[in-house]
């Protein structure tokens, strides 16, 4: 996206220097941000003085989708507010389009995720001829198929799994229950694991834990996290991972394939939709792409 200067940007920065004496570094940053915003507008046939609130929100969504960090966007919005307040004070616009636009939260980065190809590689990494590898494969399949928290996964019992109906009964935060569909792949791997690997891992011990450790007990979150990192190395995945990586991939890929935020909220077990809205940029980007590809004037 080209950066395009505009005479009003120069006037604003001159006024800013005269009134507030901002440093050259700050003014240079504002100039760069405003010039890039102007270039973004020009590429869409829009003019800098006429940009309204919806256009600014669209640009903020675009920045989010492009990977701009919150701190950078906060600086951009600060300069943009100053610019439009200057235009308002000069009588060049009738209202400030930034009034109802909130600053992004700094310190809440977007969740790390994996591409669908990365997930396929991770799922294929365990050696399924080994009981531990087969257990790992089944656990990864369930984690990705259901978007579970790691604590929910390692805490699963046999009673929570209904393979005939293809669902899990999950106990989330505050012991809140939710039903989550498993999908055919996860069901097939659980069935194979229960026949070929689980009895060997238990060694004759009675247990209702679905995915026991080598000691026949409930696995800790830390142990499974080490297993994920091991399988990621086997798969050649160099991206930084977190215990929630597959959960975020689950949400991201659902939205990419047409699910709505409310459905994803229910599947993830988020009490408040605002928690799920960290994924809004994914849904918005997909809608924009669909519009561009299918609308006659897209």
Q: Which one-letter DSSP state was computed for residue 149?
A: -
Least confident of 26-30, 88-92, 94-98, 174-178: 174-178
Q: Residues 59, 149, 198, 253: which is the catalytic one?
A: 149
Does the annotation mark 149 as catalytic? Answer: yes
Residue 233 has a pLDDT of: 94
CA gap 223, 160 in Å, rounded: 22
Residue 114 has a pLDDT of: 83
Output the average pLDDT for the chain: 84
Does the annotation mark 281 as catalytic? Answer: no
Q: Residues 27, 137, 227, 247: which is the catalytic one?
A: 247
> What is the pTM for the complete model shown?
0.57
Higher pLDDT, 195 or 179: 195
Cα 275 to chain centroid, rounded: 11
Q: Each residue of 102-114: pLDDT tens digit?
A: 765 544 555 567 8
Residue 99 has a pLDDT of: 86
Answer whether residue 83 shows pLDDT above 80: yes
Residue 200 has a pLDDT of: 94
Q: Each residue of 150-159: pLDDT tens digit?
A: 889 999 999 9
Supply angle C-alpha 112, 113, 118, rounded to 5. 140
Least confident of 8-22, 132-146, 182-196, 225-239: 8-22
Query: What percent of the chain has pLDDT above 90?
Result: 37
CA gap 145, 187 in Å, rounded: 10
Average pLDDT score over residue span 272-289 = 58
Q: Residues 71, 105, 112, 173: which is the catalytic one?
A: 173
> If pLDDT is split at 50, 70 and 90, which confidence band does 273 have?
low
Does the annotation mark 173 as catalytic? Answer: yes
Answer whether residue 291 shows pLDDT above 60: no
Does the annotation mark 105 as catalytic? Answer: no
Average pLDDT score over residue span 162-180 = 86
| CA-based torsion, 58, 62, 65, 68: positive or negative | negative
Q: Which domains does the chain have, with CATH numbers?
A: 7-89 (1.10.150.130), 116-289 (1.10.443.10)
Residue 235 has a pLDDT of: 94
Work out the burial of residue 268: count CB atoms within 10 Å of its CB; fewer than 13 is exposed, 13-18 middle, 19 or more buried.
buried
Does the annotation mark 247 as catalytic? Answer: yes
Does the annotation mark 244 as catalytic? Answer: yes
Residue 238 has a pLDDT of: 86
Q: Tokens 């980007």 identify what position?
A: 285
Q: Residues 59, 244, 248, 253: which is the catalytic one?
A: 244
Answer whether residue 147 shows pLDDT above 90: no
Residue 158 has a pLDDT of: 96
What the block records as the tokens of 157 is: 């019992």
- At 170, is the secondary structure helix, strand, or coil? strand
Please provide the DSSP assignment of 265-293 as one string: HHHHT-SSHHHHGGGHHHHHHHHHHHHHH
């Amino acid at each position: 996206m080209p950066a395009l200067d505009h005479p009003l940007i120069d006037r604003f920065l001159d006024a800013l220097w005269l009134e507030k004496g901002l440093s050259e570094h700050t003014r240079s940053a504002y100039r760069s941000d405003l010039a890039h915003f102007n270039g973004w507008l020009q590429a869409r046939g829009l003019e800098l003085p006429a940009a309204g609130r919806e256009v600014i929100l669209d640009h903020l969504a675009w920045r989010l989708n492009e990977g701009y960090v919150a701190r950078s966007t906060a600086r951009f919005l600060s300069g943009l507010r100053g610019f439009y307040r200057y235009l308002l004070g000069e009588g060049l616009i009738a209202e400030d389009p930034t009034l109802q636009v909130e600053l992004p939260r700094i310190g809440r980065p977007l969740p790390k995720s994996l591409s669908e190809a990365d997930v396929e590689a991770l799922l294929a990494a365990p050696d399924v001829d080994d009981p531990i590898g087969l257990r790992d494969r089944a656990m990864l399949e369930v984690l990705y198929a259901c978007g579970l928290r790691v604590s929910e996964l390692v805490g699963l019992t046999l009673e929570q799994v209904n393979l005939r109906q293809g669902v899990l009964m999950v106990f989330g935060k505050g012991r809140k229950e939710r039903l989550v569909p498993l999908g055919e792949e996860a069901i097939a791997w659980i069935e194979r694991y229960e026949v070929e690997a689980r009895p060997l891992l238990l060694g004759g011990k009675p247990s209702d834990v679905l995915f026991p450790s080598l000691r026949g007990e409930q696995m800790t979150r830390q142990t499974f996290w080490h297993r994920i990192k091991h399988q990621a190395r086997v798969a050649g995945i160099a991206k930084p991972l977190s215990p929630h990586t597959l959960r975020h991939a689950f949400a991201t890929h659902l939205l990419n394939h047409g699910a709505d935020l409310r459905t994803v909220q229910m599947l993830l077990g988020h009490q408040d939709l605002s928690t799920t809205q960290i994924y809004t940029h994914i849904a918005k980007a997909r809608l924009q792409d669909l519009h561009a590809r299918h609308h006659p004037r897209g």
